[in-house]
């Protein structure tokens, strides 16, 4: 009974956060599933936005050694999910601060320089945008253009797990 009540309250919360759609929420992609993902998450290199770059000038950004050394490895980063175009998403943008404007929908808006594109193996429903989330996955570096949206990314995480903090 207690459990039922709790899950009811949880779904209410999720509803309030706009997470629920008619389609089933693929919880398994959103929450850490022990033991497999969590054991990998423990081995993950923790990375902050401050640690990504060694130097910056108007001729470009230089990756930090920590970021370069982590290429191809499992990393864990905390940030905010920028509001995506659709409720169900294949990739999203992880930002240092919650986004105040949506560059996907506003012609006047632009992404900050320090963003991470999080790619998902299966579509998920967007998490709340105003609370931090944690992403764990394989780090990829280098310019890539998304075939569908034309979105150019530089730092990417192939997500294994997402978690609202």
Partner 1 sequence: MKFISKQRKTAAAICAFLSIFGCAAAGNLYLPAHVEAAGYTVQEKNPVNLMPINRAKFLKGQRFDLQVEVKGVANNFKVTVDGVDAEKYFGKTGTVKTADGVTVYCISDVAFTKAGDVKVEAVADGKKNVANYTVTDAKAKKKAKNVILFVGDGMSLQAREMARILSKGLSDGKYNDLLNMEKMDHMAVITTSGYDSLVTDSANSASAYATGHKSVNNAMGVYANSTKDPFDDPKVENIIELVKRTKGMATGIVSTSNITDATPAAMLSHTRRRAEQNFIAETMTEDYHRPDVIMGGGSRHFIPMDTPGSKRKDNVNVVEKFQDLGYTFSGNRTELLNTPADEDKILGLYQLDNMNVYIDRAMLKNPKVLGGFNDQPGLVEMTERAIDTLSKNENGFFLMVEGACVDKQLHVMDWQRAAYDNIELDQAVGVAQKFAAENGNDTLIIVVADHAHGASITGTYHELDGKTGREAVRTYAAAGWPTFEDRDGDGYPDNPDPDVTLAVHFANHPDTNIDYKFKQVPTAPAIMAGDKAIANPNLKGEFAPGNIPYKESQEVHSADDVLLNAMGPGSEYFNGVMDNTEVFFGMVRALGIDGTKNAK
Q: Which stretches within 21-142 are classed as H helix? A: 27-30, 36-43, 65-69
Smallest separation (angstroms) from partner 1 to the CB of 97: 8
Choice from 35, 60, 122, 148 touching partner 1 (CB under 8 A): 60
Stretch binding partner 1 (CB under 8 A), from 7-15, 26-34, 36-44, 51-59 = 51-59
User: Any bridge partners for residue 94, and if so which?
Assistant: 81, 116
By CB under 8 A, the residues from 104 to 143 that bind partner 1 are 105, 107-108, 110, 112-114, 126, 128-130, 143
For residue 68, which of 50, 54, 48, 49 has the smallest C-alpha distance? 54
Smallest separation (angstroms) from partner 1 to the CB of 45: 19
Per CB under 8 A, does 92 bind partner 1?
A: no
Cα gap 132→149, rounded to integer Å: 25
CB 75 within 8 A of CB 137: yes
Residues that bind partner 1 (CB under 8 A): 17-18, 53, 55-63, 82-83, 97-102, 105, 107-108, 110, 112-114, 126, 128-130, 143, 145, 150, 152, 154
């Amino acid at each position: 009974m207690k459990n039922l009540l709790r899950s009811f309250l949880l779904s209410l919360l999720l509803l309030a956060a706009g997470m629920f759609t008619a389609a089933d929420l693929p919880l398994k992609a959103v929450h850490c599933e022990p033991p497999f993902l969590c054991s990998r998450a423990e081995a993950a290199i923790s990375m902050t936005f401050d640690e990504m770059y060694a130097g910056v000038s108007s001729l470009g950004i230089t990756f930090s050694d920590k970021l370069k050394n982590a290429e191809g490895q499992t990393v864990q980063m905390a940030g905010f999910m920028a509001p995506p175009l659709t409720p169900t998403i294949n990739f999203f943008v992880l930002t240092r601060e919650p986004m105040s404007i949506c560059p996907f929908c506003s012609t006047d808006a632009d992404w900050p320089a320090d963003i991470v594109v999080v790619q998902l193996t299966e579509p998920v429903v967007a998490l709340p945008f105003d609370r931090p989330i944690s992403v764990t996955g394989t780090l990829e570096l280098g310019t890539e253009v998304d075939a569908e949206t034309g979105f150019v990314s530089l730092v990417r995480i192939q997500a294994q797990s997402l978690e609202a903090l």
